[in-house]
């Protein structure tokens, strides 16, 4: 599906004429559509297989006077999981072409914003920078939401008045939240890394082209934001690792407590079992069998043999 946009009065407007469009957004294009567009713009577009290659030389290169930049971007993060996919930005002197096979929310956000309010400039570069700025803002929002998701986990693990300490076990839920958030942060860090490399590649072109001061300023701001968001994502990843270790440690402590209860119960009932076994033997010469107080005596012996180990363990602080 082709979505073409031109700039009218500083705002994006949909257009059907690809030749006059300043931005062409290809969403899951067929090979026939790509070939048709290649004839129109005079640039060979990468295939989906080429977009998915991980070599830097395949993701960032200049060909036929156009810059090719491929970045990994997430989608479907509202459902607490992300679908990562490559998006290629093809920047020519007068046109921006984006190629994607999934639907990052940043694209629709940018289109809605740019159709309502004027954007700075009317060139393909200003559209490209505006789209990148929206992508960075979106990634920042995702990381902020991820940070809010792990806050209840942190309180639940480390605070003594949490439901866990009141008899309820939330460890399984904690592990699920930690796993989902950790997986999401891993995808976001991958996306930030690829965007940072793409902007570094674009910056090299900017230095050669001697652009306006506005483009230089926006590029510096984007680069600074990418670095700061990356640092925050790294901090959250470290926190996720800490919470995972703490949760597993708490699970191990609870398991040890359960095993300790069974061990103490076994030790407590072992002496009474020994006493009962002795008096359960069929010996003729056993004085207590003819003794009127023999049965109460055996019961008392069993109770005493159970209470003495319990008292001893309590004094040692093992219980």
- What pLDDT is stored for residue 307 in this prediction? 83
The domain locations on the chain are 2-254, 255-316
Q: What is 255-316's CATH number?
A: 1.20.58.340
- 2-254, CATH topology level: Beta Polymerase; domain 2 (3.30.460)
Please, which residues have CB within 8 angstroms of residue 294's CB and are 6 or more apart in sequence? 288
Burial of 174 (0-12, 13-18, 19+ CB in 10 A): buried
Q: How much of the chain, in percent, has pLDDT values that exceed 70?
A: 88
pLDDT band at 78 (very low <50, low <70, confident <90, very high): very low
pTM, rounded to two decimals: 0.77
Task: Using the predicted structure, report yes or no on whether residue 268 has a pLDDT greater than 90.
Answer: no
Question: Does the pLDDT at position 90 exceed 90?
Answer: yes
Token pair of 265 as six digits: 């119960």
Check the CA dihedral 210-11-77-49 and report its sign. negative
Q: Give the whole-number percent of the chain exceeding pLDDT 90.
A: 29
Sort 72 into a burial class: Cβ within 10 Å, 0-12 / 13-18 / 19+.
buried
pLDDT of residue 160: 56
């Amino acid at each position: 599906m082709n979505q073409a946009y031109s700039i009218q009065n500083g705002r994006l407007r949909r257009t059907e004429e690809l030749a006059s469009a300043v931005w062409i957004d290809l969403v899951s294009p067929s090979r026939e559509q790509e070939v048709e567009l290649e004839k129109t713009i005079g640039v060979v577009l990468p295939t989906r297989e080429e977009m998915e290659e991980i070599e830097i030389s395949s993701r960032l290169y200049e060909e036929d006077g156009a810059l090719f930049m491929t970045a990994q971007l997430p989608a479907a993060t509202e459902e607490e999981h992300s679908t990562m996919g490559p998006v290629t930005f093809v920047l020519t002197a007068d046109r921006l072409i984006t190629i994607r096979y999934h639907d990052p929310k940043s694209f629709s956000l940018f289109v809605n914003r740019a159709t309502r309010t004027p954007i700075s400039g009317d060139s393909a570069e200003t559209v490209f920078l505006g789209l990148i700025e929206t992508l960075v803002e979106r990634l920042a929002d995702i990381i902020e939401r991820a940070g809010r998701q792990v806050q209840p986990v942190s309180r639940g693990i480390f605070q003594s008045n949490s439901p866990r300490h009141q008899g309820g076990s939330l460890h399984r839920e904690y592990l699920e939240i930690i796993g989902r958030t950790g997986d999401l942060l891993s995808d976001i860090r991958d996306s930030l890394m690829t965007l940072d490399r793409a902007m570094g590649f674009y910056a090299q072109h900017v230095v050669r082209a001697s652009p306006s001061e506005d483009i230089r300023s926006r590029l510096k701001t984007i680069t600074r934001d990418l670095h700061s968001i990356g640092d925050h994502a790294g901090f959250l990843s470290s926190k996720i690792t800490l919470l995972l270790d703490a949760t597993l440690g708490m699970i191990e402590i609870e398991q040890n407590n359960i095993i300790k209860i069974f061990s103490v119960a076994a030790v407590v009932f072992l002496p009474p079992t020994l006493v009962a076994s002795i008096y359960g033997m069929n010996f003729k010469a056993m004085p207590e069998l003819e003794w009127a107080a023999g049965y109460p005596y055996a019961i008392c012996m069993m109770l005493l043999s159970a209470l003495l180990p319990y008292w001893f363990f309590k004094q040692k602080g093992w219980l």
